[in-house]
């Protein structure tokens, strides 16, 4: 899936045909190399009259050609060789590869002709790559052949994506803040305690951003070798390296510009003010060379930001809201939709750009995906910006900038290839409108942490204003609508954790779990109640609840991904010996995988000794059918009063179990 940044960068058909230079003029983006220490308002006199980093032009048609295909196989135990063979057979049927009887005599299957597996996504789909990109018709034929194969659950192209009152001296240049009720919103909330995940090109070192960053991750694939730009593929460094590995493109610093709009440091005597002035920023790098990124990488980035462990990447501080200033052409892919659903199911709203093609947004993912808040751009008069996508898929408008005078200033670097000096620059686009909304959401979540993504979306729409009708986001009205009647007197934590106030619905249960030494917190005094609990931790909890019995673990591990020196090795192997937690058929335990509510019900049932129990013929939950996995265990859990499910009559068996919910389950289990 080819995503474009929701600024108007040109997109080319293939990575091998990237442009000699990006559409964005770096001289304009640098705003004359304004240094971060420069006081006073920014001088625009040297800027081109067409507008700096003009994102308002319509995007080129985003090509859908890609050498990759995402395939979800029905049997997770299918070998890599079998997977490659299944795709190769489909390619032969689609006339993409020569049939075996047409191949040169003595020719052997090789990386020169057949697809090669490059990675697996977080939801266990495989990404396979052909040596050359496939035309649109070839892609369509291949997908049709794959989905006719009973061994394949689904297939789709892995399309490329590309990027969409203070003492701060440049505050006067930020018409979007003063004119759009942001200072009024600050009297009620500033985003304190809320983390905004910025899925983009990464974030640079910058005095207006450094104090706001929490640890993130770089998910850019190392294929081809120069694609990551930083030279090392996926790693724990999500900083933006620019484009210093290639002369084909100029550095855009897009992710840093987006991050600054959302949450730049404020009242620090330099630069600009962020919408959510006290929120944190989690950089998740998903766009590499020339601001391209694969959809499969972006999907993994979404899941990581929402708290899912991806490979060895453990997110100890999940984002509370996700910002994606990205846009592409086509239908919403299943890989992307699944990742978005995971985030929203984890109570993390996903705010996305509508795109800059002056078109209907219903053909521009992720704006046309379900469960997102899609943001169009408004100009200085509150009208739809000339470049902004529109239509029923657009939920709200926010300032995106227009022309030279009313473009959006934010944090960038002065370098044209790699970083050299912190600076400020101007851009226009739905990319700039999106973090304005994400910052608003952060303030709403500070005012009312219990809001669901659906409630946030409804509130943004119901409180929006402007000449176009009820579309343009009003931060003050949105925060006011969700804030408790008395916002000035917030409850003070009385328990052992500073992030669990007395008003928390599970404060008693969390305190009890801490006192029982079943669930501990972190060294910073937090419990992180909405963070998912992983299989490592559940093994430890089960062991502690059993009284930490004497047990000698085996010298040779029964799991190939858990060594005898691993944390919780004793607890994991003990849980296995008791039949409480088992592994997978491939010999793994997957200790860092989050545990879902299905598995939680099974674990508690086994910890109770697997008592005799006859489940009702009619389900108590509308999303748990008789005969489904763990039907008996879930209803036993309900019968014991350990779970009540949700008010809408669902149990949500595939949702991840949060730490606060686990504390409640354990409390009810023993009391």
Q: What confidence tens digit (pLDDT) does each residue in 74-85 have?
A: 888 888 889 989
With a cut of 90, say whether residue 275 has pLDDT above it.
yes
pLDDT of 168 strictly over 50: no
Residues with Cβ within 8 Å of 2's Cβ and at least 6 positions away in sequence, in order, are: 11, 62, 63, 64, 66, 159, 160, 161, 162, 292, 328, 329, 330
- The predicted model gives 421-448 an average pLDDT of 93
- Residue 627 scores a pLDDT above 80: yes
Mean pLDDT in residue range 463-468: 68
558-562 LR contacts (CB < 8 Å, sep 24+): 558/583, 559/583, 559/587, 559/588, 559/589, 560/587, 560/588, 561/588, 561/589, 561/590, 561/591, 562/589, 562/591
Confidence at residue 176, expressed as pLDDT on a 0 to 100 scale: 59
Burial category of 559 from C-beta neighbours within 10 Å (exposed 0-12, middle 13-18, buried 19 and up) = buried
**Is-contact 651 624, C-beta < 8 A?**
yes
Rounded mean pLDDT, 601-611 = 89
Give the pLDDT confidence score for residue 264 in this predicted structure. Answer: 92
254 is catalytic: yes
Mean pLDDT of the chain: 81
Catalytic residue among 31, 239, 254, 658: 254
Query: What pLDDT does residue 369 have?
Result: 95
Grade residue 270 by pLDDT with cuts at 50, 70 and 90.
confident
pLDDT at 466: 60
Q: Which region among 22-26, 294-298, 655-659 has the lowest average model confidence (pLDDT)?
A: 22-26
Sign of CA dihedral 166, 167, 172, 176: negative
pLDDT at 162 over 60: yes
CA 303 and chain centroid, separation: 5
State the average pLDDT over residues 585-595. 87
Distances from the Cα of 541 to the Cα of 501, 517, 571, 622, angstroms: 23, 9, 9, 30
pLDDT of residue 406: 77
Q: Which residue has the higher pLDDT, 620 or 163?
A: 620
| Antiparallel, parallel or unpaired: β 326-328 and 3-5 | antiparallel
The pLDDT value recorded for residue 378 is: 86
Q: What is the mean pLDDT of residues 625-645?
A: 89
Let me know if 534 is a catalytic residue. Answer: no
pLDDT at 646 over 50: yes
Mean pLDDT score, 388-415: 88
DSSP lists the bridge partners of residue 541 as none
pLDDT of residue 644: 85
257 tagged catalytic = no
Q: What is the pLDDT of residue 485?
A: 61
Q: Tell me: pLDDT of 499 over 90.
A: no
91-117 pLDDT tens trace? 999 888 765 544 443 344 444 567 888
* pLDDT confidence bin for 302, thresholds 50/70/90: very high
SS3 541: helix
Query: How many other CB atoms sit within 10 Å of the CB of residue 92?
Result: 18
The pLDDT value given to residue 255: 95
Residue 491 scores a pLDDT above 90: no
Break the chain down into helix, strand, coil percent, rounded to 5.
30, 15, 55
Q: Per the residue annotation, which of 123, 158, 200, 660 is the catalytic one?
A: 200
Specify the range with the lowest mean pLDDT, choosing from 91-95, 147-151, 399-403.
399-403
Is pLDDT above 80 for 465?
Answer: no
Average pLDDT over residues 329-337: 91
Q: Which of 181, 265, 289, 431 is catalytic?
A: 431
The per-residue pLDDT for 49 is 22
Distance CA 461, CA 455 (A): 10
pLDDT higher than 60, residue 148 = yes
Contact 357, 326 (CB under 8 A): no
Average pLDDT for 516-532 = 86
pLDDT for the residue 246? 59
């Amino acid at each position: 899936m080819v995503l474009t940044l929701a600024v108007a960068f040109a997109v080319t058909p293939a990575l091998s045909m990237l442009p000699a230079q990006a559409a964005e003029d770096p001289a304009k983006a640098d705003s004359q190399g304004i240094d971060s220490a420069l006081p006073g308002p920014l001088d625009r006199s040297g800027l081109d009259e067409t507008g700096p980093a003009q994102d308002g032009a319509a995007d080129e048609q985003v090509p859908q050609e890609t050498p990759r295909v995402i395939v979800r196989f029905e049997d997770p135990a299918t070998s890599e060789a079998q997977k490659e063979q299944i795709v190769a057979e489909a390619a032969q049927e689609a006339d993409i590869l020569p049939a075996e009887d047409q191949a040169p005599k003595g020719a052997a299957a090789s990386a020169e002709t057949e697809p090669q597996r490059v990675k697996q996504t977080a939801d266990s789909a495989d990404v396979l790559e052909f040596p050359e990109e496939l035309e649109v018709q070839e892609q369509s034929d291949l997908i049709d052949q794959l989905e006719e194969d009973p061994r394949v659950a689904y297939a789709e192209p892995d399309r490329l994506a590309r990027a969409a009152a203070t003492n701060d001296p440049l505050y006067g240049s930020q018409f979007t803040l003063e004119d759009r009720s942001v200072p009024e919103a600050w009297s009620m909330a500033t985003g304190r305690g809320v983390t905004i995940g910025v899925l983009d090109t990464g974030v640079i070192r910058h005095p207006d951003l450094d104090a706001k960053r929490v640890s993130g991750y770089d998910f850019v694939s190392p294929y081809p070798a120069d694609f990551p730009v930083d030279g090392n593929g996926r790693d724990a460094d999500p900083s933006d390296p620019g484009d210093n590995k290639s002369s084909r493109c100029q550095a855009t610093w897009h992710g840093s510009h987006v991050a600054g709009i959302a949450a730049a440091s404020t009242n620090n005597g330099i630069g600009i003010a962020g919408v959510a002035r006290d929120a944190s920023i989690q950089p998740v790098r998903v766009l590499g060379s020339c601001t391209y990124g694969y959809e499969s990488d972006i999907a993994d980035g979404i899941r990581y930001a929402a708290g899912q462990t991806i490979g060895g990447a453990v997110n100890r501080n999940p984002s509370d809201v996700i910002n994606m200033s990205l846009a592409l052409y086509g239908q919403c892919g299943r890989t992307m939709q699944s990742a978005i659903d995971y985030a929203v199911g984890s109570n993390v709203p996903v705010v996305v750009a509508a795109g800059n093609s002056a078109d209907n947004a219903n053909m521009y993912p992720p704006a046309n995906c379900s469960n997102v808040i899609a943001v169009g751009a408004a100009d200085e008069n509150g009208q739809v910006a000339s470049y902004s996508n529109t239509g029923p898929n657009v939920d709200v408008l926010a300032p995106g900038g227009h022309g030279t005078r009313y473009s959006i200033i934010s944090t960038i670097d002065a370098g044209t290839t790699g970083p050299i000096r912190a600076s400020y620059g101007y851009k226009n686009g739905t990319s700039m409108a999106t973090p304005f909304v994400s910052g608003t959401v952060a303030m709403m979540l500070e005012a009312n942490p219990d809001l669901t993504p659906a409630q946030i979306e409804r509130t943004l729409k119901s409180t929006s204003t402007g000449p176009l009708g009820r579309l343009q986001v009003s931060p003050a009205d949105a925060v006011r609508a969700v804030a408790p009647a008395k916002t000035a007197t917030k409850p003070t934590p009385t328990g052992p954790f500073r992030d669990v106030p007395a008003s928390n619905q599970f404060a008693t249960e969390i305190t009890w779990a801490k006192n029982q030494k079943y669930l501990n917190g972190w060294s910073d005094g937090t419990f992180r109640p909405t963070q998912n609990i992983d299989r490592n931790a559940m093994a430890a909890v089960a062991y502690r609840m059993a009284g930490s019995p004497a047990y000698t673990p085996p010298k040779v591990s029964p799991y190939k991904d858990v060594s005898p020196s691993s944390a919780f090795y004793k607890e994991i192997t003990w849980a296995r010996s008791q039949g409480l937690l088992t592994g997978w058929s491939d010999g793994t335990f997957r200790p860092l995988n989050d545990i879902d509510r299905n598995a939680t019900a099974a674990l508690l049932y086994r910890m109770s000794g697997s008592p005799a129990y006859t489940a009702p013929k009619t389900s108590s939950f509308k999303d748990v059918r008789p005969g489904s996995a763990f039907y008996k265990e879930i209803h036993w859990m309900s019968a014991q009063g350990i779970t009540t499910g949700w008010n809408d009559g669902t149990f949500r068996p595939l949702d991840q179990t949060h730490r606060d919910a686990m504390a409640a389950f354990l409390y009810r289990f023993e009391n």
